[in-house]
Each structure stands twice: as structure tokens, then as C-alpha cells.
């Protein structure tokens, strides 16, 4: 990167100016003079470009990736395509940019052993991208401790899996994660020229004032957001009109509109603290208490006009079994708030296994998404609807699973799965791209 940048900058500097020929040079005509100047300009450009290429492809071991031990480690899997980002060299270049006078040494030392590589693989039935991050010894133990958390089984009982569109979630131990972030940020901020000591001091004061026991008892560190269906909801609109005598009239209309049904769940504790937070939100008119649950009210909605009541329907909030529930499915906070959904409505075994074995997860049912949207897509035009039909028959689902840990290496895997199991994945992808390009 450094040598490529040097070459491009040199080219830019060399191309801009046009030197005036020496006074003692003689030309038969003005046209000859212009031709000579053009030839010199071309020669300068050629020399500059060749110089840049020689720098980039210099066989000196210090200038090549082949002997870089981090690059060797990243490319040992023999994947179809590998993307490699070397944190050590990147921060070394930053050190050169800021100069020795700037106090960046501690930050560069902290990040110098970090690097990232992504392996792209084309398999028979899927395409995968494995992102692996090598973290320095300084943060390895904290990272391991952070990722030992698990998803709360009680929270998963509130996610309806019958018509699941997708979900994503994470489970981390908040205390080691917080310690790692504070260590990282304080080191970086203290290295910032001029204001570093002020920023570091402010972080120290924040840590002194923060009651970590209270916070970590409240935030358990696991959360899942799921889109459980796409269906029609009643959305109420309130507008204002005027009669013949200019009297203001409130007009309320309710329309059925297709939108995602969603559920967000997170484990929380510290009942006294969460009760204070809920009371504060009630007094701020953000939440309206009902029997056992709350209805969310957008800020200042009482003073808005010609807007929907709520952001796309009504949203509900409840806390039960140390689980925070936010949803637009009213049945979840009324009929099933205390016990959770019936087992027949739970996530299937495949999804539960993903959540059990990983602490960073994602899932998208592409096939079901396109099927659910078919009628809605028809209104967007014949070509767009046809594209959705092709996508529906091509893509099955996508998953994200992580973090796998091997020493200093932490890996997350993205998989894109296809519908036709009798045709290899890359062929199906190319056929889809061709069909889109032909529209």
C-alpha cells in the first residue's frame, strides 16, 4: 500500500507541470517545439510509472507479501478467494503519517498484531465466506471471556418460528467486553495529540462514577431481534380538516398495510433499576401502562398532525421472567406474556441449534421472504415481480454463525444456500445474475 501510494502521488506530481524547454534548444518551427515537449512529457510519465511498478514489485523480502508470516497464515486454507488486511503494516504506515513527534506508539503497539482475512469458498450446495480475525495477546483473554455467554432459553420462548423470516442476535458477557473496550479506547484516546490526556481523564472519571455492579446486573448481554412474519396490520392515521366555518375537525382512518411482524427479546435483571427506568419512561409519556404491559407512544406524538399514530402500527413493551419484550404482536404481551409461546410455535430444531452453538448469529429465509412479498411486489411492476420470482426459486436461506475460537483466531461464517440441490451453487448464482441482467 505504501509503495502504491508513493507511485500514484509521484505520477500526479509529474503529470501536472509542463516544463519549458531549455533556452539553448533550437527548433525549426513552433510545431517541432510542441512535439518535443510532448515527447518529453510522455517520457517523464513512462519513467515515473515504471519507477512506481518497480517499487510495488520489488523482490526485496521486506517489500513482498509472500514472506509475511501473517499472510502465510491467512492463505494456508487454499480457498477460492482470500481477502487479507494486515493490521501491523497498516498501523506502521499510520506511524509514518503522524510522525515520530506524535505520541502514537502505545496505540500502534496495541494493534500491531491484529489482522483480518476472509476466505470465500464455492461449494456444491452453498457459497461461504469465513471471516477470521487475529487478535493480539493483550486482548485475547478478554475476548475469550466475552464470548463464553449463551442465549437465554426463556427469551427464545417468545420468538414465533411458524412463519419465521429471519433473526439476528448476540450473546456476550458484558463485563469483560466493557473492560476490553475501555482498555482499547483509553489507550487510543491518550495517544491523540493535544487532547489525549483530557480524553483519558474524562474516561477515568466516567469509570469512577459508573456503578458497574448495578449496570452488569441489569444488562445480561444477550439479545435477539426476529422478523416472525410479513402480514397486514391495522395502521391508524389521524389528520385534521376544516369545515365551511373553518372549524378544525379531526379525521381518523384505519388502513390495513403489509409490514413485518417483529419481536425483540433481551435478558435483563436488577428489578429495582429497571422499575425506575420504566417509571421514568411513563412520566415522559413514552410508555402508556396497560394491564401487564406497555404501549409505546412516539415522542411528542400528541402534538403532531397528519401523521400515523405510531411508527407503522402499535408497538408493545413488556418485562416478564427477566426478559425484555418489544414487539408489534399484541398476543405476545397479552396471551403469552407469562408462559411464552406454545412449543408448537417455537423456533425449529435447526434454528435452536444455531443459537445453542454460537453467540453471534443470523438467519434469513430468502424463499419465504419472496413468497410472502409476492402480492406486494406485483404493484411495483412486472419486471420487478419477475425478478422476485427468480430469486424465490434460486435462494433458500442465509446463515451467520460465530464466533469459533482457536487461540488468537476468532472466526465467523456466512453461508448462502440455494434451492436446487441437484445443481451446483455457482451455476445457480450465475443463472440468477444472467436473468437479472436480461431484464
Q: Is residue 140 pLDDT above 80, yes or no?
A: yes
What does the pLDDT average to over 277-300?
90
Q: Which one-letter DSSP state was computed for residue 236? A: E
- pLDDT tens-digit series, residues 406-415: 999 999 999 9
Task: Please tell me the least confidently modeled range out of 65-74, 135-144, 211-220, 262-271.
Answer: 65-74
Q: Is residue 179 pLDDT above 80, yes or no?
A: yes
In whole angstroms, what is the distance from residue 222 CA to residue 217 CA? Answer: 13
In whole angstroms, what is the distance from residue 50 CA to residue 44 CA? Answer: 10
- pLDDT tens-digit series, residues 45-60: 888 777 766 655 655 6
In this prediction, residue 386 carries a pLDDT of 75
- pLDDT tens-digit series, residues 65-105: 777 788 888 888 888 898 988 876 665 555 555 554 454 56
What does the pLDDT average to over 272-287?
93
Cβ contacts of 316 within 8 Å, gap of 6 or more: 293, 294, 295, 296, 325, 326, 327, 328, 329, 330, 332, 333
Cβ contacts of 18 within 8 Å, gap of 6 or more: 37, 41
In whole angstroms, what is the distance from residue 361 CA to residue 96 CA? Answer: 39
Domain boundaries, given as residue ranges, for the chain = 1-60
- pLDDT tens-digit series, residues 6-44: 344 444 444 444 444 455 577 788 888 888 888 888 888
Question: Cβ-count burial of 169 within 10 angstroms (0-12 exposed, 13-18 middle, 19+ buried)?
Answer: buried
In this prediction, residue 360 carries a pLDDT of 96
Whole-Å CA distances, 9 to 45, 58, 429:
12, 18, 40
C-alpha cell at 377: 411486489
Q: What angle do CA 161, 164, 167 make, to 5 degrees?
A: 100
Angle, in degrees to the nearest 10, between helices 174-190 and 137-146:
150
Q: Is residue 253 pLDDT above 80, yes or no?
A: yes
Q: Is residue 131 pLDDT above 80, yes or no?
A: yes
Q: What long-range pairs does 207-212 form, CB within 8 A, spacing at least 24?
A: 207/182, 212/175, 212/178
pTM check: above 0.85? no
- pLDDT tens-digit series, residues 307-331: 444 455 789 999 999 999 999 999 9
Higher pLDDT, 263 or 291: 263
Amino acid at each position: 500500500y505504501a509503495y502504491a501510494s508513493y507511485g500514484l502521488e509521484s505520477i500526479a506530481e509529474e503529470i501536472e507541470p509542463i516544463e519549458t524547454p531549455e533556452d539553448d534548444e533550437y527548433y525549426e518551427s513552433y510545431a517541432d517545439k510542441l512535439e518535443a515537449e510532448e515527447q518529453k512529457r510522455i517520457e517523464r510519465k513512462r519513467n515515473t510509472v515504471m519507477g512506481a511498478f518497480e517499487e510495488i514489485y520489488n523482490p526485496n523480502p521486506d517489500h513482498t507479501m509472500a514472506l509475511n508470516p501473517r499472510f502465510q497464515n491467512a492463505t494456508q486454507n487454499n480457498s477460492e478467494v482470500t481477502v487479507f488486511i494486515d493490521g501491523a503494516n497498516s498501523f506502521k504506515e499510520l506511524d509514518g503519517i503522524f510522525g515520530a513527534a506524535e505520541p502514537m506508539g502505545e496505540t500502534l503497539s496495541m494493534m500491531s498484531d491484529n489482522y483480518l482475512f476472509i476466505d470465500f469458498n464455492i461449494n456444491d450446495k452453498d457459497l461461504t465466506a469465513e471471516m477470521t480475525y487475529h487478535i493480539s495477546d493483550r486482548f485475547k483473554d478478554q475476548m475469550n471471556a466475552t464470548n463464553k455467554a449463551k442465549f437465554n432459553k426463556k427469551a427464545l420462548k417468545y420468538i414465533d418460528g411458524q412463519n419465521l423470516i429471519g433473526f439476528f442476535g448476540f450473546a456476550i458477557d458484558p463485563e469483560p467486553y466493557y473492560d476490553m473496550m475501555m482498555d482499547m479506547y483509553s489507550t487510543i484516546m491518550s495517544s491523540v495529540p493535544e487532547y489525549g490526556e483530557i480524553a483519558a481523564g474524562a474516561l477515568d472519571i466516567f469509570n469512577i462514577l459508573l456503578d458497574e455492579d448495578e449496570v452488569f446486573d441489569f444488562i445480561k448481554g444477550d439479545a435477539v431481534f426476529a422478523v416472525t412474519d410479513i402480514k397486514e396490520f391495522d395502521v391508524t392515521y389521524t389528520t385534521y380538516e376544516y369545515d365551511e366555518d373553518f372549524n378544525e375537525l379531526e379525521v381518523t382512518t384505519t388502513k390495513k398495510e403489509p409490514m413485518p411482524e417483529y419481536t425483540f427479546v433481551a435478558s435483563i435483571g436488577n428489578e429495582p433499576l429497571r422499575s425506575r427506568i420504566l417509571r421514568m419512561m411513563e412520566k415522559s409519556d413514552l410508555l402508556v401502562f396497560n394491564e401487564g404491559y406497555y404501549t409505546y407512544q412516539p415522542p411528542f406524538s400528541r402534538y403532531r398532525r397528519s401523521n400515523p399514530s405510531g411508527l407503522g402500527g402499535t408497538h408493545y413493551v413488556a418485562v416478564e421472567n427477566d426478559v425484555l419484550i418489544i414487539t408489534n404482536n399484541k398476543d405476545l404481551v397479552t396471551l403469552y406474556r407469562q408462559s411464552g409461546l406454545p412449543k408448537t410455535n417455537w423456533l425449529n430444531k435447526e434454528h435452536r441449534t444455531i443459537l445453542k452453538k454460537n453467540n453471534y448469529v443470523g438467519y434469513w429465509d430468502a424463499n419465504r421472504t419472496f413468497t410472502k412479498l409476492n402480492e406486494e411486489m406485483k404493484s411495483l411492476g412486472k419486471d420487478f415481480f419477475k425478478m422476485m420470482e427468480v430469486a424465490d426459486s434460486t435462494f433458500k436461506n442465509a446463515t451467520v454463525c460465530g464466533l469459533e475460537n482457536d487461540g488468537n483466531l476468532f472466526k465467523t461464517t456466512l453461508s448462502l444456500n440455494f434451492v436446487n440441490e441437484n445443481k451446483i451453487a455457482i451455476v445457480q448464482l450465475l443463472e440468477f445474475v444472467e436473468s437479472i441482467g436480461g431484464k
